[in-house]
Chain A
Amino acid sequence: MSILKSREAQLALAIAILTAGIALRFPAFVTPANLAGVFNDTSPLMILAIGQMIVILTKCIDLSVAANLALCGMVAALMNGAGVPLALIVPAVVALGAALGAVNGLLVWKVGIPSIVVTLGTMTIYRGTIFLMTAGKWVNAHQMTAEFKALPRASLLGLPVMSWVAIALILLFALVMTRTALGRAFFAVGGNPHAAVYTGIDVGRTQCAAFVLSGALAGLVGYLWVARYAVAYVDIAGGFELDVVAACVIGGISIAGGVGSVGGAVLGAIFLGVIKNALPVIGISPFWQMAISGIAILLAVAFNASQSRVKGRIILKPAEA
């Protein structure tokens, strides 16, 4: 029974019940092809949720991920338009994303500005930069090379490359978070910063590393996003940072830091992905999606709190008693 107490198991169960409930009325939803489609559709959210989880673990928050994604996506599209080979574009946008993440990280680490203020600022700056680069023009499908658009959709062993990228990153980060010193440092910094200092961990540097990772993932997703939807403009993935934070909260990552797992973040993203993909199937207007994910966030945060609440001892008894 103890396995049911883990957050990941409960969430997986909730997703299974949700999917089964939909399948009762709409069996087509649970065909392997459709489930693979849902997974592929949720891949960007999963990848970004992993990065956001690491940032939240260290008591920070990265609200600039969606803007970072959009900027890197646009740069990828422009590089493609300038004839740069794809083998160079992908590493370049990952590096650019990491650099934009490093800007956040350095402002948090070296200047000591709270992360919410930093990323609130860089969010508008990064998105504004896209406008400065393009004067608001779109890069459309016909302006992209076939090779550029094909990579995320290319099928490998029955799944698109984008899904494989997500799976590879999930496995990679699951290893990094549980089996490396850096991974443990993220938990230590968020769990107890003072204790982390005494064990020789540089709190600021670890936070900066989290932002760099989150930024690099955003850069990679930037390319995948633009190539998959075959369009790049200023407002792509607008407001997506909130979905990413929501996936983390639903996945049981504590906003106070130090608590969370890659599995939780991924399952949180899948939960939102299933809801988003199920709504049109069961005939509910997509306009319901926002309110439903809002309720999911509130339920998840209330659930998180009820599980982690430590019962205090009453040392002063009421006078009547």
Chain B
Amino acid sequence: MSAPATPPAATTASTTGRILPNRLQSPLARALRSWEALLLVVFVLVFAINSFASPYFLNAWNLSDATFNFTEKAMIAFAMAMLIIAGEIDLSVASIIALASTAMGLAMTAGAGVPVLVLVGLGTGLLCGVVNGVLVARMGLPSIVVTIGTMSLFRGISYIILGDQAFTGYPKGFGYFGQGYVWWVFSFELVLFAVLAVAFYLLLHKSTFGRAVYAIGNNATAAQFSGIRVARVRFLLFLLTGLMSGVAAVCLTSRLGSTRPSIATGMELEVVTMVVLGGISILGGSGTIPGVVLAALIMGLVTFGFGLLNVPGIVMSIFLGLLLISVIAVPRLLRRK
């Protein structure tokens, strides 16, 4: 199971009477050998290959279009990353999008304006997060099963409401969230993605809440005994994931301009793939937001590049599946030698 313990370099150094180093590697060497550095190399490679493969790739507007491939998924992936670091998972995110989108559709048919629509979308997401949070954090049920259940329940409610129908005809101003541009080629979604990336970076890496998330993921019992309110942190993380799914629902519904109960089917798997590709350990306890950002960019570029080459979507999904397994397998196999 675990690798045989090798004596750390510091122990041998101390026996020969030298000073114990504070760090075994310089920060720069560590950064260069990190997962994020590897992702950066992959990103540059994908970018370069794409530029050679298609003459249409290096165009500001085309690249801007490409960002829609990942922005909505990445918004959820930030929250999902924190959830997975804390040792939990939420497979219901795509179903939350369906339910939130359906709720917005209902509000629209009741004559709600744009601000109300957005609030309904975010509120529904938050409510779904509360349901998951209560079941997992308060009742202590395993998150993977609970969210498989709520995944079926949330989308099931959408199917009950909509059946084989669809909501269309959202008000004109509502289109801004998924189709509008803040400035030049920078879409609202792209700007929101960047803002959220910074916000989640600060939350996970620069706040006590973030430290608590890592502590829980590494050892929940020890975290409890060191005074972290484990159940509350877990509950808040589910709330946050629900809320971000609501945000993604607003953007996606606005971009598509319609709601069907099958909206965003299978997106939970793409979000989890993005998070794991970003170097978040599925077992919890480690990973960073910059890793997730890079993974989002890589997945977006790969999808876009394949799209320019007229590769069908399902072939891209094979590639992403292979990418997911190989990025985890290759370092593990290399480390073994």
Contact = CB atoms under 8 A, between A and B. Distances in A.
Interface string A278-321: 00000001011111111101100110010000000000000000
B24 interface: no
B325 A297 contact: no
B283 A114 contact: yes
A111 interface: yes
Contact of A290 (B145, B148, B152): B152
Interface in A243-290: 245-246, 249, 255-256, 285, 287-290
Contact of B321 (A122, A246, A288): A122
B312 interface: yes
Interface stretch (B101-109, B154-162, B180-188, B198-206): B154-162
B197 interface: no
A121 B322 contact: yes
B151 A256 contact: no
A128 B145 CA distance: 26
Nearest to A287: B159
Contacts of B151: 242, 294
Contacts of A256: 142
B159 A291 contact: yes
A301 B315 contact: no
Q: Is the interface of A mostly helix, strand, loop or mixed?
A: helix
A178 interface: no
Given A113-B329, A121-B322, A255-B144, A128 B315 contact: yes
Contact of B329 (A111, A131, A249): A111
A112 B150 contact: no
A127 interface: yes
Given A114-B282, A117-B282, A293 B156 contact: yes
Bin chain A's interface residue count.
35 or more
Given A113-B332, A124-B317, A302-B139, A291 B153 contact: yes
B149 interface: yes
B152 to A, nearest CB: 3
Contacts of B328: 111, 113, 117
B157 A291 contact: yes
B268 to A, nearest CB: 10
B222 interface: no
A111 B142 CA distance: 26
For chain B, give the interface size range.
35 or more
A120 interface: yes
A131 to B, nearest CB: 4
A129 B89 CA distance: 28
B321 A255 contact: no
A287 B1 contact: no
A54 interface: no
Interface string B267-291: 0010011001000001100000000
Contact of B146 (A128, A129, A203, A301): A301
A301 B149 contact: yes
A128 B140 contact: no
Most chain A beta carbons < 10 A, residue from B145, B312, B322 = B145
B320 interface: yes
A84 interface: no
A17 interface: no
Interface in B305-328: 312, 314-315, 317-318, 320-322, 324-325, 328
Contacts of A292: 156
B85 to A, nearest CB: 14
Contacts of A113: 325, 328-329, 332
A129 B276 CA distance: 23
Nearest to B317: A124
B152 A294 contact: yes
Contacts of A132: 315, 318
B152 A131 contact: no
A227 interface: no
B256 interface: no
Contacts of A117: 276, 282, 324-325, 328
Nearest to A130: B314
A140 to B, nearest CB: 20
20 contacts: A107-B325, A116-B89, A124-B269, A124-B320, A124-B321, A128-B318, A131-B315, A136-B312, A242-B151, A242-B152, A249-B145, A249-B148, A255-B145, A285-B160, A285-B163, A287-B162, A287-B163, A291-B159, A297-B149, A305-B139
Interface of B: 1, 89, 135, 139-142, 144-146, 148-157, 159-160, 162-164, 261, 269, 272-273, 276, 282-283, 312, 314-315, 317-318, 320-322, 324-325, 328-329, 332-333
Given A124-B317, A193-B1, 7 more contacts: A113-B325, A116-B89, A120-B324, A127-B314, A131-B315, A246-B149, A302-B141
